[in-house]
Amino acid sequence: MENVVIIGSGCAGWTAALYAARANLNPLLLTGAQPGGLLTTTSTVENYPGFPDGVDGTELMMRMQKQAERFGTRTQYGVTVTRVDFSQPRRGASGFKLWLDDELLESKTVIITVGASHRHLGLKSEDLLERKGVTYCATCDGALPVFRNQPLVVVGGGDSACEEATYLTHFGSKVYLVHRRDALRASKIMAERTLKNPKIEPVWDSVVEEIHDVKQDKVAGVRLRNVKTGATQELACAGVFVAIGHVPSTALFKGQIEMDADGYIICRKGTSTSVPGVFAAGDCVDRTYRQAVTAAGSGCAAAIDAERYLAKLEN
């Protein structure tokens, strides 16, 4: 019987592990299929406190892991939680059940930090040029030297896309906002502010059909297709910022805990889910900020909430 099992190994997961370990809870962290989470796909993180020169995303995750393990966190790689049962009563030897393939694991508390994945365009060139000019976070990557004073493309039409485009005007020479409809889906005030910005040029009724140039191993432009006329056009750019939404990695917990219509876990009273003893933190909860530092903060809160929950069980 474990005290704390943490599912996921991004900023929220490792921070939760650090705090739980320092509280002598001997936590077990299951890394999942992508150890380190989405931040490992970011080449340089320039907005995480304490790193004035920036830090590679993978290196930051490795440092967090080392710090958590220093205080006793146990890490299990290469396994995926395939099923959970959060219905067991919290008495005696019973606990929450997690299956790692065919292996059964039981724990008094569970902290879910599975994160969310960026919604992709579905292009082969997109995958090949990821971290080479294709990115999913302007706040994370927009200030990189490769994008400064260069034309940039943002794909999307919601609030996130408008925020990304506006943010990028501080660095790029021009920002093309490519949207498949003829009007933005963003809130009225956000849409008006975006369209008034002289450095942002909307490209309506269009989708990205290809990202150039795989042969150069860097982004050099895009080919767009008008969804109404079928006409294509080429745009030169140094970066493509895809902002068409996120998909929380929470399908595993459907029917076990309360989630909203988009799959984000609903927390009340801090990081507590609808099941007492099960906590959640990071991007699988946060649909607003989605930053490394906010994920770390919520991981800290989840560990403290779990510690206090366990203390009540013992009293």
Catalytic residues: 137, 140-141
Among 246, 248, 232, 214, smallest CA distance to 178 is for: 232
C-alpha span between 127 and 133 (Å, rounded): 11
How far is residue 39 from each of residues 47, 55, 148, 274, measured CA to CA in Å?
12, 11, 22, 28
Backbone dihedral angles phi then psi of residue 31, each to the nearest 5 degrees:
-70, -30
C-alpha span between 280 and 285 (Å, rounded): 7
C-alpha span between 242 and 191 (Å, rounded): 17
Name residue 85's beta-bridge partners: 97
Burial class (CB in 10 A: 0-12, 13-18, 19+), 308: exposed
Residue 194 contacts residue 162 (beta carbons within 8 Å): yes
C-alpha span between 172 and 157 (Å, rounded): 19
Among 260, 251, 301, smallest CA distance to 281 is for: 301
C-alpha span between 141 and 255 (Å, rounded): 36
Side-chain half-sphere CA neighbours of 4 within 13 A: 37
Give residues with Cβ within 8 angstroms of 248, minimum separation 6.
114, 115, 116, 259, 262, 263, 264, 265, 283, 284, 287
